[in-house]
Amino acid sequence: MSGNILEQSCPIPKSDYEHILLAHGGGGKLTQQLIDKIFYPLLGNEILARGHDGATLTTSGVKLAFTTDSFVVDPIFFPGGNIGDLAVNGTVNDLVCCGAIPKFISLAFILEEGLPIEDLWEIVKSIRHAADKSGVKVVTGDTKVVGKGKGDRIFINTSGIGEVIEGTNIGPEQCSPGDVIIINGSIADHGIAIMSKREGFSFETTIESDTASLNEMVTEVLNKYKSVHVLRDPTRGGLASALNEISNSSKTGITLYEDKIGISESVRGACEIMGFDPLYIANEGKILMILPEKDAPGVLDILRTHREGKEAAIIGYVTEEDPGFVKLRTTIGSSRIVDMITGEQLPRIC
Amino acid sequence: MSGNILEQSCPIPKSDYEHILLAHGGGGKLTQQLIDKIFYPLLGNEILARGHDGATLTTSGVKLAFTTDSFVVDPIFFPGGNIGDLAVNGTVNDLVCCGAIPKFISLAFILEEGLPIEDLWEIVKSIRHAADKSGVKVVTGDTKVVGKGKGDRIFINTSGIGEVIEGTNIGPEQCSPGDVIIINGSIADHGIAIMSKREGFSFETTIESDTASLNEMVTEVLNKYKSVHVLRDPTRGGLASALNEISNSSKTGITLYEDKIGISESVRGACEIMGFDPLYIANEGKILMILPEKDAPGVLDILRTHREGKEAAIIGYVTEEDPGFVKLRTTIGSSRIVDMITGEQLPRIC
């Protein structure tokens, strides 16, 4: 893109909304609207335009991945984790989705006046644990403090640098008809764990977040299978939004099979009670892998040897028909369109 | 550091405070206490421990600089800039302080529900302007939204990657007795611009922030003078805190000459009225350069050819005496210790 837009009078584009809504941060249609109407027109360049979870860059002949995420999850402590390990695992997994081995992360805090030092200590401890587990080093940081009522206890930004694994070429645009869609386990645990804790629901079994770093498992796959086309962690907006994005970028269709998508009994029950569709609920330890069908058995074999991939399964296919649409074949044999999330179903789950 | 601290029961260290105070984000003694008592013990590694503005890393044989900063400035629009260009320039300058050429930045927003879309548009426009001016590309991003009253309009994190200029070895520990201390212009403009706007003070002339990227100017110096020992942008906590940090890391003394430190008449007047010591006030377009005295004339010649360095001057010397202390020779000939900032003099100036 040329810099021309900045030299014009640069009017703000007509938007459906005059103010930011919670849904602008939901990872669905309104988030996409901000990206399409503000960020791309003003900031666009060939790297940003790839629409990936992170950027792949070449600098001094070395291919790097670079990614950023701010974490504003509420509550900051939840079953299965806290905002600290979530912030490390989230950025590690975004690097993984670029086909990279995560190496270094940065850590920036925005603390609200009055946060107990003990909470900060617990969170930083989890950060170190998660970093050690995924083999990354926290190499640089920043701390800001805002007054009472101008923040919400703690927000964390992590940015990460990884080394792209040689021979890989991962990106949503690589998705091809005939590819299979694999996921490494059951869906919707993270979002439901957060919502249950926030709303004070209790179920027979405590639903835990699936937050985990997936780099060891995925690196093993990529070292053997350079044919992987797309990697994507279905976080905000869940499986449905992630696949819609991929289907849009690649101009392919996607068909999912409802009976292949794992959902634990307790999560399914919680979704029914709270009125949520698990396809739209965030995951923090899941990865979608899209690759040629012939390599699927080998990839599944590798995934299933890892704790995070024991329940890995093929859940759908990429098709030539219906480009830009995600369809779900239901257990009763009917078929329905799975759209991107529109409103803000679950605010502040990451 | 070994991982042992995490395997112990890991008690939180005794601290003077049980909760986060505004001063923990002030860049002074309490910020240092968080770093020394929480971040280093839990996260410490040889890269983080260098105590630099950013990290210098070697990955696949390439030497990179990596840095992060969150921006929470209040007000978000101020004379001379806004939170957008401040966020770009701040991270660009941190990379410059690592002796690097800034290349790529990430951009992560935490927006408060209700922020006018028009404000976001203006801010993103300034981000693009500032990025173009300093030759960096915004390559990856993230947007989160928090509810009304859980944030403060907009917080921005920028992280950056730069390529370290070959032959340089910049770091606070390189500071040596006999070195001169150069700054590229007058001090305290940014902090006073922010405070004046926030408090609604008006002076005869509007005091503008000095926010600017300094990479072009500094790169020209580093291409010619590999002998530069330390580069530091005196932001939060001002000149006094930056030099105290350097003096502590390098175990050298520092002597400043009051009559050599430039302060504009309007800033001096505002400081008197508001009761601030300009040595502690933040700058966003200034850099401290510490280098052997023999190279000072050549470096000053280069600086003064740039708009941002017209008033560059030697303001002090590094000494063997009084290691760890910064002394000021006043205009009336006396001498006083310039300590690190203790409380939170100016909250949320960046």
Residues A179, A230: Cα–Cα separation, whole Å? 10
- Given a contact cutoff of 8 angstroms between Cβ atoms, the answer to whether A162 and A317 are in contact is no
Residues B28, B234: Cα–Cα separation, whole Å? 12
Chain A neighbors of B50, CB-CB under 8 A? none
What is the pLDDT averaged over residues B230-235? 96
Question: Per residue in A265-298, pLDDT tens?
Answer: 999 999 999 899 999 999 999 999 999 999 999 9
Chain B neighbors of A114, CB-CB under 8 A? 19-20
The B residues from 87 to 126 touching A (CB cutoff 8 Å) are: 103-104, 106-118, 120-121, 124-125
What is the pLDDT averaged over residues B159-178? 94
pLDDT reported for residue B344:
63
Q: Is the pLDDT of residue B261 over 60?
A: yes
What is the pLDDT averaged over residues B260-273? 95
Q: Is the pLDDT of residue A48 over 90?
A: no
Question: Per residue in A74-114, pLDDT tens?
Answer: 999 999 999 999 999 999 999 999 999 999 999 999 999 99
Residues B283, B172: Cα–Cα separation, whole Å? 19
Domain boundaries, chain A: 48-164, 172-337
A48-164: CATH architecture: 2-Layer Sandwich (3.30)
Rounded to whole angstroms, what are the CA distances from B23 to A111, A113, B17, B343, B348? 11, 9, 11, 5, 10
Question: Per residue in B114-132, pLDDT tens?
Answer: 999 999 999 999 999 999 9
Q: Is the pLDDT of residue A3 over 60?
A: no
Give yes or no for a cis peptide into A75 (omega within 30° of 0): yes
| Alpha-carbon distance B334 to nearest alpha carbon in chain A (angstroms) | 36
Q: Which two tokens stand for residue B27?
A: 């860049």
pLDDT reported for residue A306:
98
Chain A neighbors of B141, CB-CB under 8 A? 39, 43, 48, 68
Rounded to whole angstroms, what are the CA distances from A255 to A97, A338, B34? 21, 10, 51
| Alpha-carbon distance B330 to nearest alpha carbon in chain A (angstroms) | 33
pLDDT reported for residue B3:
43
Q: Which two tokens stand for residue B152?
A: 């403060």
What is the pLDDT averaged over residues A164-171? 94
A50 touches chain B (CB under 8 A): no
The structure's pTM equals 0.95
Residues A169, A77: Cα–Cα separation, whole Å? 37
pLDDT reported for residue A29:
85
Nearest CA in chain A to B110: A70
Q: Is the pLDDT of residue B61 over 90?
A: no
The A residues from 141 to 200 touching B (CB cutoff 8 Å) are: 141-147, 149-152, 155, 157, 159, 161, 163
Tell which of B66, B144, B341, B350 to mutate to test the A interface (max A CBs under 10 Å).
B144
pLDDT reported for residue A28:
81
The B residues from 216 to 275 touching A (CB cutoff 8 Å) are: none
Question: Per residue in B298-328, pLDDT tens?
Answer: 999 999 999 999 999 999 999 999 999 999 9
Q: Is the pLDDT of residue A326 over 50?
A: yes
Q: Which two tokens stand for residue A247?
A: 């289907």
Q: What is the value of ipTM here, to two decimals?
A: 0.94
B58 touches chain A (CB under 8 A): no
Q: Is the pLDDT of residue A6 over 60?
A: no
H or E element, residue A63: strand A62-71
pLDDT reported for residue A1:
38
B68 touches chain A (CB under 8 A): yes
A172-337 has which CATH code?
3.90.650.10
Average pLDDT, rounded, for chain B? 92
Burial (CB count <10 Å: 0-12, 13-18, 19+), residue A288: buried
Chain B neighbors of A25, CB-CB under 8 A? 111, 143-146
Nearest CA in chain B to A32: B143
